Structures are given as C-alpha cells and as structure tokens.
C-alpha cells in the first residue's frame, strides 16, 4: 500500500489509488483552423467557411476528414472542399463517464488528474 497522505496534503485534494489500466477515451474537443491556408484560396468567402466549420459538430468534421480525407461544405449553394492540412482536431482524454482528465504516463504507472 502506498501512503498518499503527504501528496494529498500538498495538492489539497483527495487521492485514490486503483490498480489496472484506466478506462479512457480520446474524444474530439476543439477545432483549430489554419487561416493562412484558407484565406488565400477562398478569399472573401473565408469568414463564411470558417463560421460553417465552427458550427459543425466536431465529431462530424473528424468523421469526414477520416472517411474522405477532405472536408466538404456547401457555401452559398456551391460545394467547397477544405484541405485537411487547414484543420486540426484537438482531442482530450475522458473517462467512460465523459469527464475530462489529464493523463501522465510513467513507466510503471498512469496518473489521472480529474479536472
């Protein structure tokens, strides 16, 4: 048994130890758009395209990029294709209950910091 009293006092939070591998999922959390790639190609439609991307569910953007290798949008009645290099899907670790956690991986342990 590991004594966690000092650590618990130092971080002013409860500590719980569990053995086994944690049940975690890597879930999409945000989209970063590279304006330097979208602007020169789409010029005056850039703001509309960026807004359309941000309004889409992140999971839909990720699925399209993984399935088609490109993001297709309908803008002003025309289909536009967005290069996947212009979009970065940010991901975060979550527990099976959907709670966000930070993960520290050590050679003999995995530490989860619940946020």
108, with CB counted inside 10 A (0-12, 13-18, 19+), is exposed
State the pLDDT confidence band at 52, using cuts at 50, 70 and 90.
Answer: very high
Q: What is the pLDDT of residues 89-98, one digit of tens each?
A: 999 988 888 8
Residue 5 φ then ψ, to 5°: -60, -45
pTM score above 0.85: no
Q: 20-114 adopts what CATH topology?
A: 3.30.720
Pairwise CA distance, residues 33 & 43, whole Å: 15
**Averaged pLDDT for residues 64-78:** 93
Domain-by-domain residue ranges, the chain?
20-114
Length of the chain: 115
């Amino acid at each position: 048994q590991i004594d966690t009293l000092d650590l618990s006092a130092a971080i002013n939070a409860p500590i719980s130890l569990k053995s086994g591998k944690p049940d975690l999922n890597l879930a999409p959390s945000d989209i970063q758009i590279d304006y330097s790639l979208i602007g020169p190609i789409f010029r005056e439609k850039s703001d509309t395209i960026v807004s359309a991307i941000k309004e889409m569910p992140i999971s839909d953007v990720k699925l399209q990029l993984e399935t088609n290798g490109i993001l297709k949008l309908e803008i002003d009645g025309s289909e536009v294709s967005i290069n996947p290099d212009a979009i970065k899907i940010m991901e975060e670790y979550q527990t099976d209950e959907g709670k966000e956690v930070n993960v520290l991986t050590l050679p003999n342990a995995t530490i989860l910091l619940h946020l």
